[in-house]
Structure 1
Amino acid sequence: MKFKLLTATILFSFSLSNLLAQVEQVKVRTHEIGIQTDNDSYLGQGSDQYYTNGIFIYYRQALSINNPSATRLANRVLGIELGQKMYNPQSGSVPDKEFIDRPFAAYLYAGANLNLLYKNESNLKISLQTGIIGPAALGAEAQNLIHNTFGFYTLQGWHYQVKNSFQLNFSGEYNKLLARAKWIDVSGSTYANIGTGFIGAGIGPLLRVGNFNALYNSVSTQSTASKVGLTPLHQHEVFLYYKPMYNYIGYDATVQGNIFKHTAGDEVTGTPEHSVFSQQIGVAYSGSRWVLDAGAVIHSRDVTRMVRTHKWGTVTLLYRFK
């Protein structure tokens, strides 16, 4: 039954892509703005745990390329983002700190990134984020607002959250096309983080099935904004993707607290799992104006005391314009 459903989904994706290509032509769009929202409730599993909510606002602008015919670059994109991530234990209401298997924590930040995309379908994305982890990140206030608005249960335990610590974090991401057939391709993906909050690295493949574009102008590499007239493989992207990844965690301030100080007061911290495996499966679409990416993430335990694995849904919606 699951195989039949997957086959029907793929066939529907191809048909939708071909139909959209007939009624709308993709134009060069140099700017895009949008929002991403993550929440474990999107999967309908009735849970409210671990990485429980995230919200991000994006603005991206394609940059000019001098003498494009004589350079390896196919596209350059500058990005700015604002974001907040919230974490709580196996429940947002714990009667005692002994039940905290993953610390209460929130991360509020602003960031910028430069995405360099090459004609050989590789890209290097360099990012800088600065912000705060702790009560000043307003995690308790945001989660209380959500619960009060929708009539969810009363929260209890945020006074145990990790204390305030200033954040300055750098990251680099590299992707490279490995092989491609007509309707399927596979890429390699790696990243590394270093900073006051996050130290680690990861590696894994990205499998795409459907109508996808080259990695220098695709949803997959956040490069749908472009300032040059790139010829797409397809007028519209509509594809399924699967991205498993091995992650090494050296330090995580949402688990361990301030990297420069020991635990203080009522703060409850944890011990991270250094080897973490994640999987993301989803569907992506890009057209002349709109970009949509929706997926589900399964994440192994990243704290030694955690009772079970993470699972959450993620949805990104972008609007492209000149």
Structure 2
Amino acid sequence: MKGGEMMYLLAMGLLIGIGAPLQTAINSQLRKAVSSSLVSSMISFSIGTIFLTLILLILRQDLLIPANLIRVQPWWIWLGGFLGVIYLTGNIILFPYLGSVQTVIMPVVGQLIMSMLIDNFGWFEATKHPLTLIRLIGALLVAIGVIMAVAIKSWLDQHKNQLDSPALKSTKKLPWQLLGIGTGMLSAMQTAINGHLGVILHSAPKAALISFLIGTMTLWLIVWVKEHRVHLNQQIISNYPWWIWLGGILGALFVLGNAYLAPVIGTGLTVVAVLIGMISGSLLVDQFGWLRAPKIPVVPVQLLGIIVMLLGVGLIKLF
């Protein structure tokens, strides 16, 4: 692969990563509107499913799945949507027990570990990229950069994140930290699985649609069992901005981009590139207070963390 093409693909990963915190900020407003995290996630997934369906129609691709695909392909190619829902729900569950900082960091650790394992062993039919010492150092630099960008500012602010919830004071964190690492691993698995599904179908958009559709159906079932009904009133439309409905589109583009990139540049590099975009996007949202998010000034150590992550990506890409 030529250097220019690789830079283009990495830039794509950064862009779809930047979209993730924008989606989070949008969905937080939607959650306020519907007074339920699960319902807001269900709405977001449903809109994303419709958006991906429209993309396939515009591209004139068949919406149906070949009948023989279910018989001849491994069962795990259908798990991407379920894993996405588990990852999303896991973050909702983890936040009260770990606080905002560790809810970000623990899944990142899991993503880095699993993505490197997938590349090294070729799990989920991924192209093998041996885990060399240099690639391992690159992954560690990315992890250090994440800590610098996400955690150090909070620690310097006298551990304010520990006051996020009484549960942070009274509950042992280790099981929740392990759960966070586990959900991050599932997220990396979703990237690899959707990437392989896209190769099988010769269509990353169709793979993303299948993943989103399965996730949407799962969330509808969960909401039906837990909430029993979904009630949307006219006040939601009148009192909240129009863009609260756009989170699902950004989520769809996120899954689509991952499904396209993973088979081309590898799961590990895809996860890391998207991760840097996510952290960068989060800092932009904090700095400028986009989408009604509270303004939190970015400090130099956070920018240095981005640079450290970029150095890590360079090592992973070159070696």
Would you call these one fold, judging by a TM-score over 0.5?
Answer: no
Greater helix content: 2
TM-score by length of 1: 0.27
For the pair shown, the structure with the greater C-alpha radius of gyration is 1
Greater strand content: 1
TM-score by length of 2: 0.27
